[in-house]
Structure 1
Amino acid sequence: MAAGYLTTHILDTARGLPADGITIALYRVSGNSHKKIAEAVTNADGRTDTPILPVGKMKAGQYELIFFCGPYLDAHGLNDDPVKFLDQIPIRFGITNEEAHYHVPLLLSPFGYSTYRGS
């Protein structure tokens, strides 16, 4: 049996590059309760150096990734307004198979984003 894990990455679609230096927090969600279980920063490839939820830590349930994109957008001159349209981007998703690899990427621009279940 293979053990599951969770990975993520961020692509800056406005610049056509991986988004480096963005903090990502992972929470386990149960009802109105959020428990922070991991935090990482993206590298030059827009990925975390290790899975954000490593092998052996995966449990079925609801999770939320929060991507702290405001400082990145500021640093690259993509949104220097004092009130950001996008600052923290939450993505809530469910894990049902504890033995699978889940990949939840973020495609980022200053005024929009998208995600999908990758592989």
Structure 2
Amino acid sequence: MTSLSTHVLDAVTGTPATGVGLTLTGPGGEVLASGTTDDDGRARLTGDLAPGVHRLTFATGEWSATAGRETFHPEVVVTFTVAAQAHLHVPLLLSPFAYSTYRGS
């Protein structure tokens, strides 16, 4: 059984990115979960992720528009492989014209 969490940070203000919409899709393209980041910029997507390639899509354009900011990336898609991990953590660091992500712990 593999679970997934994320933490989105706003690099401009140095604070959590609250209210970022996200969607998790599975190996066949089916939507497995969706939600938004909480007041701490975090979201936990519950359920058992099957092995294979998954995509976590962040609605960064909508979030930036709500904050009254310009952005180059209307969405950020992080594609990753689920194998035998018990838990995956996918952090995202945002700025208007760049982002970074990595496999967290």
- Consecutive unaligned residues in structure 2, runs of 5 or more: none
- Consecutive unaligned residues in structure 1, runs of 5 or more: none
| TM-score, normalisation: structure 1 | 0.81
Q: Match for residue 58 of structure 1?
A: 49
| TM-score, normalisation: structure 2 | 0.91
Distance 1:4 1:93 in 2: 13
Q: Deviations over 1:68-114 (max 9, x none)?
A: 011211222321xxxx51111111000111x5211011111110001
Picking from 86, 98, 101, the partner of 1:112 is 98
Paired residues, what number? Answer: 105
Tell whether 2:41 aligns with 1:46. yes
Q: Deviations over 1:42-91 (max 9, x none)?
A: 1110012xx2143xx12111100000011211222321xxxx51111111
Tell whether 2:103 aligns with 1:90. no
Q: Match for residue 27 of structure 2?
A: 29
Picking from 8, 11, 26, the partner of 1:10 is 8
Give the percent of matched residue pairs that are identical in Structure 1 and Structure 2.
Answer: 38
From the two aligned structures, give the one with the greater strand fraction.
Answer: 2
Structure-2 change in CA distance of 1:29 and 1:58 (3 Å): closer
**AA in 2 matched with 1:64:** R
**Which of structure 1's runs of 4+ aligned residues deviate more than 3 A?**
none
Q: Shift in Å at residue 9 of structure 1?
A: 1.6
RMSD between superposed Cα atoms in Å: 1.4
